[in-house]
Amino acid sequence: MGEDKFLRVLWKYEIERINDHLPKKTKTLSNLLEEEEPYVISRDGSNFLIDKEELNFLASFIPKELHKLVRLPIVLIRRLDLGKGVFTIGGGKLESFIVHKLLKNTNAAFSEYKDVDLPPYIYWPHVVELRRRFKTIITIGFGVSKKDLSDAKRFLRGY
């Protein structure tokens, strides 16, 4: 393997390591609302605290019947392979709908979230707006394509 490929593979492996702050598992909005000090466990084993005021806002924003379906925190992944300033929205269709609804990118009702066709990504200015308002229910990670990541892991196993 050439030096350029080695450095590219190493860089991609490091991206995975800088995501240690991301949640190992998410929790539902309803579960987090029941906790006195809401948190999720991060990939590095530490507690990722979630602000109660942000949870209460989200609980008032989202219909109660969906609280048990919403997984938090919502992770926005900076996808270096998709171009400058592109972030994919982690989670499912509901989490994506919530992000777009918070950004006022849709007027659809929550009851329609399964049927609305929204892009699974947003751009840097949207991320800035969301992070300004929500410091804990939305978090940012970094990503590369799955193929690049598996290449990096396979290569590094040899060392």
pLDDT tens digits, 52-66: 999 999 999 999 999
Which pTM value belongs to this model?
0.83
Residue 132 has pLDDT above 60, yes or no: yes
Work out the pLDDT band at 13, boundaries 50, 70, 90. confident
Measured in degrees and rounded to the nearest 5, phi and psi for residue 9 equal -65, -45
Query: Residue with structure tokens 């702050």?
Result: 21
Pick the residue with more confidence: 92 or 2? Answer: 92
Query: What pairing do the DSSP bridges indicate for beta strands 86-89 and 121-123?
Result: antiparallel
What's residue 112's pLDDT?
97
Query: Residue with structure tokens 């492996």?
Result: 13
Residue-range domain boundaries for the chain: 3-157
What's residue 120's pLDDT?
95
Q: Which residues 6+ apart lie within 8 Å of 143 measured at CB?
A: 15, 19, 77, 78, 79, 80, 81, 88
Distances (CA, A) of 88 to 3, 63, 70, 94, 149: 30, 24, 17, 14, 17
Pick the residue with more confidence: 15 or 68? Answer: 68
Number of H helices, E strands in the chain: 6, 8
